[in-house]
């Protein structure tokens, strides 16, 4: 820490991203990236856009907003594109939270919510998940707070049905409800269909997972026109060129190739089913997942032990050392081949212990 760090940030604990190793080649099942490359359309468009990098990107992001809005069945002024969905979430904290509008979210959910709140000095309430890691929608009704709801939730992978999400939105008419749909394409019903019914709903989505574009950093917010206008005021006061030219072009290419994304999601969902069954056969408790990862614990090995032993064997999974999560690991669904290697490694570890 330097002598110059503002006193207001001295206690800030930053978000810890999953490992992104640069040396040894690992099978990476730790950060919920897609095992498939981006659409060839996305790659070709990005390469073409790279030829014009001397120019700023379009601050209105109009072509991409139009294409994304069309895909969502909404109007272009009901969407905003951002530098990953982390940025739209950050903008949502900046735009809709303060001392009089504190935040509320689950005690077990995406780790960035509390980091953003701490960074911006926004008070927040943690709402405990039930013992089985599910959300009780009634806990969120009439909270009088800006609500951040990951649906499906992370790292549990559990989804709330749309009627329960709607109950929460309807139950907080005077506060914004942010529904973070980073993993929605792996089998959850989206709340986008509700944005014309509720002016307090902001849905966030990402191109990082189902569209294989984590490295491009492209996210989006979908909400009524006035919410998006407020978010744009903040965006234009922060970084109007938040989506770079190559990413903008890649996003357009990816949207053109929707079938490619759907096929990849179908494969991942299939592999998720097979992996869940295989892990259960190996003595794991695996939570039924609606995402591109599974959350699992074994009674024959601790969460951290399994993480370390797999790392030694060249496989990275994600471990969280917090009291309610420490027995579990979050395992991203990779290719069939990668999952076969993982399961074989787990079998070997179990044999060595018996």
Residues in the site for ligand PMP, rule: CB under 6 A?
84-86, 110, 150, 154, 180, 182, 206, 208, 214, 219
Nearer to ligand PMP by Cβ, of 86 and 166: the residue is: 86
Residue 290 φ then ψ, to 5°: -110, 20
CB atoms within 10 A of CB 61: 24
Nearer to ligand PMP by Cβ, of 180 and 185: the residue is: 180
Nearer to ligand PMP by Cβ, of 217 and 349: the residue is: 217
Nearer to ligand PMP by Cβ, of 133 and 349: the residue is: 133
Give min distance, CB of 14 to ligand PMP, in A.
14
CA dist 46 to 25, 49, 118, 280, 331, Å? Answer: 26, 5, 35, 42, 30
Nearer to ligand PMP by Cβ, of 182 and 195: the residue is: 182
Contact call for residues 211 and 64 (beta carbons, < 8 A): no
Q: Please tell me the distance from the alpha carbon of residue 121 to that of residue 99, in angstroms, as a whole number.
A: 8
Q: Which residue is nearest to ligand PMP (CB)?
A: 84
The strand ranges marked E within the chain are: 27-28, 79-82, 103-106, 124-127, 146-150, 177-180, 201-206, 219-223, 284-286, 293-298, 315-316, 328-332
Give min distance, CB of 99 to ligand PMP, in A.
25
Q: Please tell me the distance from the alpha carbon of residue 306 to that of residue 293, in angstroms, as a whole number.
A: 16
HSE value, Cβ hemisphere, 13 Å, CA-based, for 18: 19
Give min distance, CB of 218 to ligand PMP, in A.
7
Residue 64 φ then ψ, to 5°: -70, -40
Nearer to ligand PMP by Cβ, of 33 and 166: the residue is: 33
Report residue 263 as tokens. 């096929």
Q: What is the DSSP string of 63-95?
A: HHHHHHHHHHTS-GGGEEEESHHHHHHHHHHHH
Give min distance, CB of 187 to ligand PMP, in A.
15
Nearer to ligand PMP by Cβ, of 92 and 310: the residue is: 92
Give min distance, CB of 203 to ligand PMP, in A.
12
Instruction: Identify the residue whose tokens are 């509008």.
Output: 101
Give min distance, CB of 347 to ligand PMP, in A.
29
């Amino acid at each position: 820490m330097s002598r110059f760090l503002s006193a207001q940030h001295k206690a800030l604990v930053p978000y810890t991203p999953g490992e992104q190793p640069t040396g040894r080649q690992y099978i990476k099942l730790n950060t919920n990236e897609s095992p498939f490359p981006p659409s060839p359309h996305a790659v070709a468009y990005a390469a073409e856009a790279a030829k014009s990098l001397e120019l700023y990107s379009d601050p209105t992001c109009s072509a991409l907003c139009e294409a994304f809005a069309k895909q969502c069945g909404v109007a272009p002024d009901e969407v905003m594109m951002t530098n990953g969905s982390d940025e739209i979430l950050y903008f949502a904290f900046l735009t809709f939270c303060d001392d009089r509008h504190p935040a509320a979210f689950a005690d077990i959910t995406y780790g960035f919510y509390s980091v953003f709140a701490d960074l911006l000095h926004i008070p927040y309430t943690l709402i405990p998940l039930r013992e089985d890691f599910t959300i009780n929608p009634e806990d969120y009704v009439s909270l009088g707070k800006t609500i951040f709801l990951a649906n499906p939730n992370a790292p549990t992978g559990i989804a709330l049905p749309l009627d329960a999400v709607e109950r929460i939105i309807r139950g907080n008419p005077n506060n914004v409800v942010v529904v973070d749909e980073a993993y929605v394409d792996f089998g959850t019903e989206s709340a986008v269909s509700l944005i014309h019914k509720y002016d307090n709903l902001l849905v966030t989505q990402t191109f990082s997972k189902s569209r294989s574009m984590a490295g491009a950093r492209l996210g989006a917010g979908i909400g009524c026109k006035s919410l998006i206008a407020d978010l744009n005021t903040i965006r234009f006061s922060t970084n109007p060129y938040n989506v770079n030219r190559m990413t903008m072009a890649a996003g357009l290419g990816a949207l053109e190739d929707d079938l490619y994304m759907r096929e990849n999601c179908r494969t991942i969902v299939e592999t998720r089913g097979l992996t869940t069954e295989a892990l259960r056969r190996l003595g794991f408790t695996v939570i039924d997942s609606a995402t591109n990862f599974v959350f699992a614990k074994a009674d024959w090995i601790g969460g951290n032990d399994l993480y370390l032993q797999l790392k030694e064997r060249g496989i990275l999974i994600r471990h969280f050392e917090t009291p309610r999560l420490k027995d579990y690991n979050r395992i991203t669904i990779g290719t069939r081949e990668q999952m076969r290697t993982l399961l074989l490694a787990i079998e070997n570890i179990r044999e060595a212990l018996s």
